């Protein structure tokens, strides 16, 4: 059986980690595209030369020609400028929209049957633009955000409670930015509500609520926290790992229920926008958006986040995209 073909558009930090993880997990053969001459060739050669050490037979190659992504089963797009200190995701809009438009045109031409995972920021706008330019069915275009945001939330909870992060379930909805919505009510450690565990730890409901609020805020600002520490770039290990979880769900038809930036047709009261929601990922991409009831406070936060996404898309439209 032939291996799947996975094309990475963008040879930066995330692209490099993606290529290595795909090879290590033997998800398929990798083609890394970048406009910088010899950059993708150098990165992929470095990864490929460790094949014997890491025990993989996947082919890992680099290219400066979009023609080489022809026949891709899956395309993961990271192309665009990373955030820098003091820069919001919205500040990236004009520059990265130009890049995403050219990427989408190339994918439409050379990989018209592929499923696309978009990582580029500002995420919700870039996924929308990619879908609009390619004309792909909504199920074949999905954004990576909720997996990462939910992982960050779960990690902070695990650190606070002193438990394995493998036993923490946490869900983050909404846009990929400062208005994202960590769902506190359903956060649990193997079924035990996190708020109950915090209240037992601190023996004080008010203190437990304060601790949770701090974790929620840290989750919302987690990307910026990494940017401020790195000074010269943004997160790349965790976004890459999160996209790989999505890729595995699609390539292995796992039917994983995870938070993803998916196109909504009335779910959660939203129509015609890409928003972070629980979705089942399988061989057809986004196979189903899974709704659940939000309480009044959660709904208000979700509405606020959706409004931020709408404004971002409107701004992109005013810029001519």
> What confidence tens digit (pLDDT) does each residue in 291-309 have?
999 999 999 999 999 999 9
With tokens 């955030």, the residue in question is: 83
Write down the pLDDT at residue 89.
59
pLDDT band at 53 (very low <50, low <70, confident <90, very high): very high
- Burial state string for 77-99 with b = 16 or more CB within 10 A and e = fewer than 16: bbbbbbbeeeeebbebbeebbeb
User: What digits encode the pLDDT tens for the residues 178-206?
Assistant: 999 999 999 999 999 999 999 999 999 99
Question: Between the CA atoms of 232, 6, 49 and 13, what dihedral angle is there, to the nearest 10 degrees?
Answer: 0
Domains defined along the chain, listed by start: 5-145 (3.40.50.720), 146-321 (3.90.110.10)
Write down the pLDDT at residue 259.
98
Write down the pLDDT at residue 48.
98
Determine the Cα angle at 220 with ends 216 and 225, to 5°: 115
Report the C-alpha gap between 309 and 179 in whole angstroms. Answer: 9
Catalytically active residues are 176
């Amino acid at each position: 059986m032939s291996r799947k073909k996975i094309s990475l558009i963008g040879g930066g930090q995330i692209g490099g980690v993606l290529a290595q993880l795909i090879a290590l997990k033997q998800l398929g053969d990798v083609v890394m595209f970048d406009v910088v001459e010899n950059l993708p060739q150098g990165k992929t050669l470095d990864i490929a030369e460790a094949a014997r050490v890491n025990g993989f037979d996947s082919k890992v190659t680099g290219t400066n020609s979009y023609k080489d992504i022809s026949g891709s089963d899956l395309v993961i797009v990271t192309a665009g400028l990373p955030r820098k200190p003091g820069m919001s995701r919205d500040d990236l809009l004009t520059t990265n929209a130009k890049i995403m438009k050219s990427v989408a045109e190339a994918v439409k031409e050379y990989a018209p049957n592929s499923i696309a995972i978009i990582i580029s920021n500002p995420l919700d706008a870039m996924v929308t633009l990619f879908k609009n330019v390619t004309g792909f069915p909504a199920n074949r275009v999905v954004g990576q955000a909720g997996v990462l945001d939910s992982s960050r939330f779960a990690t902070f909870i695990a650190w606070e409670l002193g438990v394995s992060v493998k036993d923490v379930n946490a869900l983050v909805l909404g846009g990929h930015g400062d208005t994202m919505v960590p769902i506190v009510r359903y956060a649990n450690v193997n079924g035990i509500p996190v708020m109950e565990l915090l209240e037992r730890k601190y023996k004080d409901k008010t203190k437990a609520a304060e601790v949770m609020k701090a974790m929620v805020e840290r989750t919302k600002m987690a990307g910026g926290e990494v940017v401020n520490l790195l000074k010269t770039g943004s997160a790349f290990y965790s976004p890459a790992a999160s996209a790989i979880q999505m890729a595995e769900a699609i390539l292995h038809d796992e039917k994983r229920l995870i938070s993803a930036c998916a196109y909504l047709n009335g779910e959660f009261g939203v129509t015609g926008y890409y928003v972070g929601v629980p979705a089942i990922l399988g061989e057809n991409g986004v196979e189903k958006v899974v709704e659940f009831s939000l309480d009044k406070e959660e709904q208000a936060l979700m509405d606020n986040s959706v409004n931020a996404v709408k404004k971002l898309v409107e701004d992109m439209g005013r810029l001519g995209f």
